[in-house]
Structure 1
Amino acid sequence: MDTTKGRYEYRSRGDNFSTRSRPRDSTHSHHPPPASSAASPSTHRDSTKTNRRFGEREQSIRPSPPADGIIESSTRLHLSHRQESTYESDEAPVSPQLRPEKHRGRPPLLTYNWRAEVCRFLNLGIESSDEALYEELQAAEKRLEEADRLTSLGAPPEDLIPRYQTIHRVRCAEGGQHEEFFLEEPFAVNSGPQNFHLRASNRIDNYDLYLERNKDVALVAFKDYRCCGSSRSRSRRLDPIGISDPSTLITNESVSIISAELCSALRDLTDRALGHIPHPEFEVEFEFPSPFLWWFHGRRELEESQQNLDSYGQSQIAVFQQYLDYRFEEEWATVDSLLAKGEISAQYIHYLYVPQTILVRKSEDERPGQQEAYIADSWLSRPDGGRSSGYLIDCKSWSFDGNFQKDSTTVSIGRFPSMKKTFKVTDLALYPISFAENGAEEALRERGKMFWKCRKRNYVCYSEGRDNGIQSMSDPRFMVDIATYKLMHPSDQVAGDFPNDIPKRANKDDLGAKAMSRDEPPARDDFLLCLPKSIPGFNMNKKEWTSLDVSRITAVTWNQEAFNTLVVDEATKKLISALVTTKIDAEKGTDLMSGKGNGLFILLHGGPGTGKTLTAESVAEYSKKPLYRVTCGDIGTKAEEVEKYLEVVMLLGKTWDCVVLLDEADVFLEQRRIFDLQRNALVSVFLRVLEYYDGILILTSNRVGIFDEAFKSRIQLTLRYKTLQEPQRLQIWGNFIARLESLQSSTFTPNHSPSPNATEDLGINVVEIRENLKELAEAELNGREIRNAISTARQLAMFEKSMMGYRHLKLVIEETRKFGEYLVELRKGFTPDEIMKDMGER
């Protein structure tokens, strides 16, 4: 209570405690003595002197009640022990006959012991101190105010003006953690076993009775304090008087809704405005803690929705709003200012995280799209005794094991950059995506769209370590197929090699088959942005499963020109194209036995470097099918291992609709012999696998003369690749130079600045090389040797820090020619083709 605004004015100890006398009821008034009293004026003065003596209170005259209608004159009230009040005239008393007419009927002066009467009224002893009298007067005033309020309790609730009441709740460890309720702020005193104890005035002895007597209280705001046992009180016990701000002793703040009408209004308002933000249930006398983040983050929506409430509901909400404005207006303004600058402090960290918003976790890879994203599922929490790194938040994210599943996890926000100073929100390990750098959200969205495309079988290109967005022919290609992965690794559903990719739990579908069947993903950000950052993929070159960074996955760009640039006859190209595009489906096969004879088998034979492998790769590009390349080293030499491996190859080839390339297949096609049972077993296994394969299989060999007779009837098309002649070499040189020219243009980004991959490569002198193509084609090189010559010349130019030109190519070709001449000399003038023909193998 503010003591300067009541009916009393307390100046200082010993000062006057003054009031104006008011008309009194006749039963509490005193009559003045009659004019014909036997006491003489001198006797009256003596009596007055006696009454003024210090300590002679028992001799004071108790006045008799005055006559009705008589009003006491103004007087001053002293509460000091050393002074008493009297009614006193400015002139000496005279006889009634000599008094002027205007003084007739005036009561005589009397002495009145006000202090004794106040003590009697307050039921205090006469020896009570001024401070005790003052405190009891305050308490009496409070009781009178409550009594006045009780007169309105019979009024209907809607006629009461609702208000909130702050109550200070002190929990003291001494005496069994009992609670005390006060209307005034507590203060510290030197008391108790720890020399630190909290006290307060205006105690509420019965909380329920207090609410019953104050039915206009719609909301109680609790401020909790703890003393005699808490760590805070122990740390302050040496200097309790030095605590000037009682708010530093607060351990918790909360509110309790007392009014059912306020509960109803809050429920109605929050249901309208805060559908996406968790908020209390608003039950009568249910307590919920500050700082009421749900109101802070929904202020705009709440303000707009209040307009839809009726006037009575708005008046109820106004009570809560008044409390919030009084308690949090300054704090919320500070938080708004910090967040507007993209900053926060440890003190206000709980304002940063809002349920149902997207959070991103920092990644060591700073490229956009590398962060992990989560959906906040709770407010920030901190375990008791936790450090700054102990702040946790419940989150949800999406996982995928053939079905999309929503997983729950608890994520730490990491350590604070500073405990005292403000810091950038993005300096935290986990922060809202709204504070992320420009482009981060869009990168996550694009990553999510790519993951959606990979929910079903998808043949993709993977850029390892390049960020210029240009797809290279050297970029490995992967098949993403979760169903096949699970089929090949059934145990990984319990303990997988890719724990971040395939969740270890039972199948569950949180998205639904209908959504999965759509081409477009769900448009909401809480799905696209929160999909996994990696997914298993099968490396088509290494023939192994690995974890792919989804942000590095791109769609395959098919090289349709590769087939057109093949250095083979046009008639041969036409035949290959016809066979590939019109391959008979397995279910429409012409073989009488189901599942037999529906494959397309092509044999490419000829010397090294004549274009056999390139033809197989071009067929895959032309038909837009994955190329599954297998070598003898992959398969093995034992019949059991070969059969098992080939079954897997053929299964994947059929499942993924691949062009299977069995490179250098001589070991499996060689003529069977009676004395070599192991080789015979290999050939038999291979023949049986081919019999039931209905995909495209291309075999290459440079020893066709040793083939077993059984393969001739199983191969539909056989193409021979002769030794390259000068016109063919000229065409190959032109193809490679054109490819280099396109690579040179791709080493520059759109703003024409060199990419990091081109820092040491000064380019190619294409004009000079084209002018000397005829001289280059004269060298008797096969296709692979031409490619190697270009690669070596390029490395030489980079070493010299110059442009690659004809000089570099000529130097490399000269060294290659020397080695070729040596081999011819070693073979006594015979070429490799001549030797193989003589042996009957080519």
Structure 2
Amino acid sequence: MVDWRREVCNFLDMSDTCTDQDIREQLELASERLSEYESLKRLAFAKQGPPRVQVINKVECQRNKAERGLYLDTPWVVESGPQQAHLRCSRVIDNLELYLERNKEITCIIYRDYSCCGLSPLIRNSDHPEAIHGVVASSLRVSEHVSIVSDELRMAWETLIANDVDPAEDITHPEKRKHDNQDTQHPYLWWFHHRQNVKLWSSVLDRESQKQIQVFQSYLEESLGDEWAKVDELLSSAKVTTQYLDYVFAPGQIVISRLEGPTVAQSKAYTTTSWPRFRSVEVSHWKFDGNFQRFFDSIKISPPSTTTGEYPINSMSVYPMQYATEDVVLALRERGKTFWKCRHRNYVCVLGTSDDHLYDAYSGSRFMIDTATYKQMHPPANNQPPSLPYHDELGPELMSQDDPPAKLGDSFIMCLPTSLNGFNMQKKEWVKLEVAYFREVEWNEEAFDLLVMEPKTKELVEAVVTNHIDDDRNTDVIHGKGNGLFILLHGGPGTGKTLTAESVAEITKKPLYRVTCGDIGTKAEEVERYLEVVLLLGKTWGCVVLLDEADVFLEQRKLDNLDRNALVSVFLRVLEYYDGILILTSNRVGIFDEAFKSRIQLNLRYENLGQPQRRQIWENFINRLERLESERLRQIGNQTLTGVMGGPQSAPRFGVDIASIRQQIDELAKPALNGREIRNTISTARQLATFRKQKLAYEHLEACIAESHKFEQYIKSLKRGFSADQIKSDQQER
């Protein structure tokens, strides 16, 4: 409980042992003094007149530093000095403190700084009536700022400034927004951008404070009213001139920068944290290395290099988001959402555009976006200290959300980096990619249905890959062993082995990591290191690993070839503890080492294609050509379509005569072509039709098959009439 008697005594500077009568007398005396003070204050205000703003001109001669001073009158130009343009004034202020003491009604001083007789070239305007040698005094003004004199105005001023606080700013920025004195510096950008708000914020002030704020606003309207009106007119039409460039920017804006490239994909967004100063503005943006951290920078703002007069604001290399087109804003927001989906790990497809030659090589390719794995695989060089990880400014709770943090708004989602490192699953290399080109992977589950394979065999393959035993349910005695699914696909070339592996990846919706002998090498140490990396990535990313043409690693061990034995042993040891899906293909299964037989869970034999199988493959390709032709006719373009099946990926330029090809499908199925040869025949026939400027038709396919048959007959004659299958069978390899 508060001891009010003691509190009153302390306020009156009395001992708490005094009597109540003493306290009452002192309270009456204090009340009389307060009334007297209020009367004197009202009398003083009545004598000093209404509050006003005083303009004081500070003039300095660069040639003679002694010629400097404060003046009440506006300076004028006289013919003197090295440039025949010297400033003079007459009403000097010798003692500023005394002047203010005698003029209590002054609430603030507008200081206008002038400089003459310097080395800088002068701006001359001979047409001005007050010009001396083409020089007007106003052209020698170098700056202007306001200095607050009245305590009431200072408190009211601070109250208004304090209202300019964005609630979200406390979340995204550890410091308060910088105003850079733009509330006190000409052209008073803070007041320009908050004109409407000031009226609302002033309503909570007392009458005297409101009056003093209105006095300063009246000065602004008088001195800058015409300029502000011109700026309003320009901004309303989304245009500006170089003279008024600073008016475009303010703290808290989202600005779009094309400094790193002209396309939307290369455009970066920032949040401004300051007013413009010397044609630059301080900004914040986000960086990512597995953690999100906010960084601060400064970017240049400048008009278009080839533009004079008025120009669209969004033609500048850096401009506020409010002047961007709706498509640009939407694209940047979508890019931010895509980036958020990739913060942990994401498998994406990259689609380039026809005017972006850098993405021609990657368009349609699939990439694994995994920043943590990228950092692990790219440690700092030995001569470089390890870089510190970014500070996690979001925290695990926000990072675990499916959607970007709503409370951070556009200052987060639009201001994320433009690129991420992705692993190209086809070329097996890390590439820096523009996030704007990321798309969700469209899994081609139809590819498995189009496999030309016995229905029972197809069912078995689908069963084992979709019900792969995971680590928690493994049946091996030793933990970590026996969890992998190893499938061996063996048979002649072009019988569908690789397509089966690709289709398995599609129906399981897993990335396909394809490895060949050329990737791995042939030395045991190299093979072990490479396979460990591949299988680690395969496990981390949940890949289907395809070891194509695996004969060199599976060949039977012999006593006289220690290098071969070491290679096979390494391969066996590494595979023993892999718990993912591994598919091996071979056309020389007869040379396999016996130890592999027990490690292969499923063996599939691919016979050479018979006429019914070839007919089905031709049918599949014809159906695909028909879809591509329909797409071509619908869009009238050269739209690229992608898929895991080989063959033509875009409609032939001059169209396809589907009817003529389909009528001859039985004739097409008669030549003993394998699946790859059928695909190559269609590709070659397309090129022939394009060269002749004709629709792709049966005659083009027939011509290509005839030439291929000549080559096959020649090869067969060299081998004395034996086919490749017969030779491999005699060698006990197939």
Letter in 1 for 2:689: A
Q: Residue 268 of structure 1 corresponds to which residue in structure 2?
A: 159
CA offsets per residue over residues 714-768 of structure 1, 9 Å max, x none?
A: 001100000000111111111111222223334467xx34247679712222222
Q: Which of 296, 305, 309 lines up with 1:421 in the alignment?
A: 309
In the superposition, relative to structure 1, how do residues 829 and 436 fare at CA in structure 2: closer, same or farther (>3 Å)? same
Letter in 2 for 1:822: Y
Q: Distance in 2 between matches of 1:633 and 1:215?
A: 90
Alpha-carbon contact 1:461-1:554 (below 8 Å) kept: yes
CA offsets per residue over residues 677-715 of structure 1, 9 Å max, x none?
A: 111110000000011111100000000000000000100
Matched, 1:817 2:702: no
Alpha-carbon contact 1:563-1:615 (below 8 Å) kept: yes
Matched, 1:518 2:410: no
In the superposition, relative to structure 1, how do residues 379 and 588 fare at CA in structure 2: closer, same or farther (>3 Å)? same
Q: Residue 830 of structure 1 corresponds to which residue in structure 2?
A: 722
In the superposition, relative to structure 1, how do residues 607 and 152 fare at CA in structure 2: closer, same or farther (>3 Å)? closer
Q: Residue 508 of structure 1 corresponds to which residue in structure 2?
A: 391
In the superposition, relative to structure 1, how do residues 741 and 809 fare at CA in structure 2: closer, same or farther (>3 Å)? same
In the superposition, relative to structure 1, how do residues 230 and 219 fare at CA in structure 2: closer, same or farther (>3 Å)? farther
Q: Residue 380 of structure 2 corresponds to which residue in structure 1?
A: 491
In the superposition, relative to structure 1, how do residues 152 and 525 fare at CA in structure 2: closer, same or farther (>3 Å)? closer
Q: Distance in 1 between matches of 2:479 and 2:314?
A: 63
Q: Which of 328, 336, 355 lines up with 1:448 in the alignment?
A: 336
Matched, 1:311 2:200: no
Q: Distance in 1 between matches of 2:65 and 2:183?
A: 22
Q: Residue 347 of structure 2 corresponds to which residue in structure 1?
A: 459
Q: Residue 184 of structure 1 corresponds to which residue in structure 2?
A: 73
Q: Residue 138 of structure 2 corresponds to which residue in structure 1?
A: 247
State the secondary structure of the residue aligned to 2:295. Answer: strand
Identify the range of structure 1 (327-336 vs 341-350) with the bigger mean alpha-carbon deviation.
341-350
Identify the range of structure 1 (718-727 vs 405-414) with the bigger mean alpha-carbon deviation.
405-414
Alpha-carbon contact 1:629-1:662 (below 8 Å) kept: yes
Q: Distance in 1 between matches of 2:516 and 2:559?
A: 26
In the superposition, relative to structure 1, how do residues 158 and 716 fare at CA in structure 2: closer, same or farther (>3 Å)? farther
Q: Residue 799 of structure 1 corresponds to which residue in structure 2?
A: 691
Letter in 2 for 1:368: V
State the secondary structure of the residue aligned to 1:302. Answer: helix
Letter in 2 for 1:185: T
Alpha-carbon contact 1:350-1:380 (below 8 Å) kept: yes
Q: Residue 237 of structure 2 corresponds to which residue in structure 1?
A: 341
In the superposition, relative to structure 1, how do residues 419 and 447 fare at CA in structure 2: closer, same or farther (>3 Å)? closer
Matched, 1:434 2:325: no
Matched, 1:358 2:241: no
Q: Residue 403 of structure 1 corresponds to which residue in structure 2?
A: 291
Identify the range of structure 1 (310-319 vs 417-426) with the bigger mean alpha-carbon deviation.
417-426
Q: Residue 36 of structure 2 corresponds to which residue in structure 1?
A: none
Q: Residue 675 of structure 2 corresponds to which residue in structure 1?
A: 783
Q: Residue 228 of structure 2 corresponds to which residue in structure 1?
A: 332
Deviation of 1:313 (Å): 2.9
Q: Distance in 1 between matches of 2:619 and 2:123?
A: 88
Q: Residue 425 of structure 2 corresponds to which residue in structure 1?
A: 540
Q: Residue 659 of structure 1 corresponds to which residue in structure 2?
A: 544
Deviation of 1:463 (Å): 1.7
In the superposition, relative to structure 1, how do residues 328 and 495 fare at CA in structure 2: closer, same or farther (>3 Å)? farther
Q: Which of 628, 643, 663 lines up with 2:513 in the alignment?
A: 628
TM-score by length of 2: 0.85
Letter in 1 for 2:664: N
State the secondary structure of the residue aligned to 2:143. Answer: strand
Q: Distance in 1 between matches of 2:116 and 2:552?
A: 89
Q: Residue 170 of structure 1 corresponds to which residue in structure 2?
A: 59
Q: Distance in 2 between matches of 1:538 and 1:318?
A: 63
Deviation of 1:562 (Å): 0.9
Structure 1 unaligned regions, length at least 5: 1-150, 383-390, 497-502
Q: Residue 688 of structure 1 corresponds to which residue in structure 2?
A: 573
In the superposition, relative to structure 1, how do residues 287 and 204 fare at CA in structure 2: closer, same or farther (>3 Å)? farther
CA offsets per residue over residues 651-687 of structure 1, 9 Å max, x none?
A: 0001001100000000000000111111111000000
Alpha-carbon contact 1:196-1:240 (below 8 Å) kept: no
State the secondary structure of the residue aligned to 2:109. Answer: strand
Letter in 2 for 1:589: N
Q: Distance in 1 between matches of 2:180 and 2:591?
A: 85
In the superposition, relative to structure 1, how do residues 695 and 178 fare at CA in structure 2: closer, same or farther (>3 Å)? farther
RMSD: 3.0
Letter in 1 for 2:93: I
Deviation of 1:431 (Å): 1.7
Alpha-carbon contact 1:461-1:478 (below 8 Å) kept: yes
Q: Residue 72 of structure 1 corresponds to which residue in structure 2?
A: none
Alpha-carbon contact 1:226-1:233 (below 8 Å) kept: no
Identify the range of structure 1 (790-799 vs 632-641) with the bigger mean alpha-carbon deviation.
790-799
Alpha-carbon contact 1:344-1:423 (below 8 Å) kept: yes
State the secondary structure of the residue aligned to 1:508. Answer: coil
Q: Residue 274 of structure 2 corresponds to which residue in structure 1?
A: 378
Alpha-carbon contact 2:51-2:215 (below 8 Å) kept: yes
Matched, 1:587 2:472: yes
State the secondary structure of the residue aligned to 1:830. Answer: coil
Q: Distance in 1 between matches of 2:361 and 2:448?
A: 17
Deviation of 1:580 (Å): 1.1
> Which structure: larger Rg?
1
Identify the range of structure 1 (458-467 vs 526-535) with the bigger mean alpha-carbon deviation.
458-467
Letter in 2 for 1:475: G
Q: Which of 214, 218, 226 lines up with 2:115 in the alignment?
A: 226
Deviation of 1:635 (Å): 0.2
Alpha-carbon contact 1:189-1:240 (below 8 Å) kept: no
Alpha-carbon contact 1:604-1:720 (below 8 Å) kept: yes
Deviation of 1:547 (Å): 0.6
Q: Residue 191 of structure 2 corresponds to which residue in structure 1?
A: 295
Any residues of structure 2 matched to 1:599-618 within 5 Å, and which?
599-618=484-503
Deviation of 1:410 (Å): 2.0
In the superposition, relative to structure 1, how do residues 177 and 415 fare at CA in structure 2: closer, same or farther (>3 Å)? farther
Q: Distance in 2 between matches of 1:756 and 1:708?
A: 48
Alpha-carbon contact 2:178-2:273 (below 8 Å) kept: no
TM-score by length of 1: 0.75
Deviation of 1:834 (Å): 1.3
Deviation of 1:461 (Å): 0.7
In the superposition, relative to structure 1, how do residues 163 and 615 fare at CA in structure 2: closer, same or farther (>3 Å)? same
Q: Residue 764 of structure 1 corresponds to which residue in structure 2?
A: 656
Q: Residue 12 of structure 2 corresponds to which residue in structure 1?
A: none
Q: Distance in 1 between matches of 2:286 and 2:619?
A: 50
Alpha-carbon contact 2:281-2:298 (below 8 Å) kept: yes
Matched, 1:412 2:300: yes
Alpha-carbon contact 1:221-1:254 (below 8 Å) kept: yes
Q: Distance in 2 between matches of 1:735 and 1:234?
A: 78
Q: Residue 584 of structure 2 corresponds to which residue in structure 1?
A: 699
Deviation of 1:201 (Å): 2.2
Q: Which of 606, 611, 632 lines up with 1:726 in the alignment?
A: 611
Alpha-carbon contact 1:417-1:427 (below 8 Å) kept: no
Deviation of 1:444 (Å): 0.9
Alpha-carbon contact 2:48-2:104 (below 8 Å) kept: no
CA offsets per residue over residues 180-205 of structure 1, 9 Å max, x none?
A: 11111111234567754322122111
Higher RCO (C-alpha 8 Å, min separation 6): 2
Matched, 1:392 2:392: no
In the superposition, relative to structure 1, how do residues 601 and 814 fare at CA in structure 2: closer, same or farther (>3 Å)? same
How many residues are matched?
670
Alpha-carbon contact 2:83-2:117 (below 8 Å) kept: yes
CA offsets per residue over residues 321-362 of structure 1, 9 Å max, x none?
A: 101101111011111222223322221111122222122222
Alpha-carbon contact 1:190-1:240 (below 8 Å) kept: no
Aligned residues: percent identity? Answer: 50
